[in-house]
Amino acid sequence: MRRPLVVGNWKMNGRLGEAEELARAITSAEIDWDRVGVGVCPPFPLIERVAGAVSGSPVAWGGQNLHAEDSGAFTGEVHGPLLRDLGCTYVIVGHSERRGYFAETNEDVAAKFEAAHRNDLVPILCVGETEEERDAGRAEPVVRAQMEAVLDLAEDPFAGAVVAYEPVWAIGTGRTATPEQAQEMHALIRSLVGDRQPQTAQTLPLLYGGSVKSANAAELMPQADVDGALVGGACLKADEFQAILKAAAQAGAGA
């Protein structure tokens, strides 16, 4: 039995004046909190404020990225030990915007994934193909390679981790994978982990990400291998995010 998890990726949004209000609004969602885990990942300078606003509630918080090293001369970067000091539960690694705009390779992402575990943070590994790759029939090998870079790190790297399948063509575009497309890729991801660690595969939370909103969450969440969502744009609107939490909680209740 996997409890649904919904994580909001604020990306490079939010100002000092509004972060607490948004974070508090999330905690006031009228949902069965036992049926869904909730996390928010604001920009680094907002983490402490958001943590203050949600602490004492079931909402956890995290970072959107971290450096692979635990300290050093890496100007502008943020290290895992600091995220841990800030009480983060989660850290997103390998988001397609990091892979695309900051040229992070599968190996870079794997090193960050390892750094997250080393610092007792739950890595949320993002994988997913571009539109070009899907059109060329290469969605599976691309996601397989992204997963294998992490699978090759250790005997059981996905124990205590989360994976988010985020087709790049669906991120911030308003286009969403169909429930069938999402399920197909999630089943692939679970089987890749299952080939090496069947037990871990059964408990591994697999989130879908890519233009999730209240209008499509209720269709996506009940898919057998969809265990929640990583939400970008829609997590900046409290009512939208609350509706997604509700859909996930209901899917959890029906599981």
DSSP classification of residue 107: H
- If one asks whether residue 172 binds ligand PEP (CB under 6 A), the answer comes out as yes
Between CA 93 and CA 67 the distance in angstroms is 10
Stretch that binds ligand PEP, among 30-38, 103-111, 152-160, 224-232 (CB under 6 A): 224-232
Choose the binding region for ligand PEP from 14-22, 49-57, 82-90, 227-235 (rule: CB under 6 A): 227-235
The residue among 168 and 200 lying less far from ligand PEP, judged by its C-beta, is 168
> Cα 120–92–38 angle (5° rounding)?
80
| Out of 4, 80, 157, 210, the residue judged to bind ligand PEP by CB under 6 A | 210
| Apex 125 CA angle, 124 and 129, nearest 5 | 135
Residue from 212, 244, 248, 251 in contact with ligand PEP (CB under 6 A):
212
204 is a contact residue toward ligand PEP (CB under 6 A)? no
CB of 15 to ligand PEP, least distance (A): 19
Q: How far apart are CA 33 and CA 246, in angstroms?
A: 9
Q: In whole angstroms, what is the distance from residue 90 CA to residue 15 CA?
A: 21
Look up residue 246 and give its two tokens. 């509700």
What are the residues binding ligand PEP (CB under 6 A)? Answer: 9, 11, 166, 171-172, 209-212, 230-234
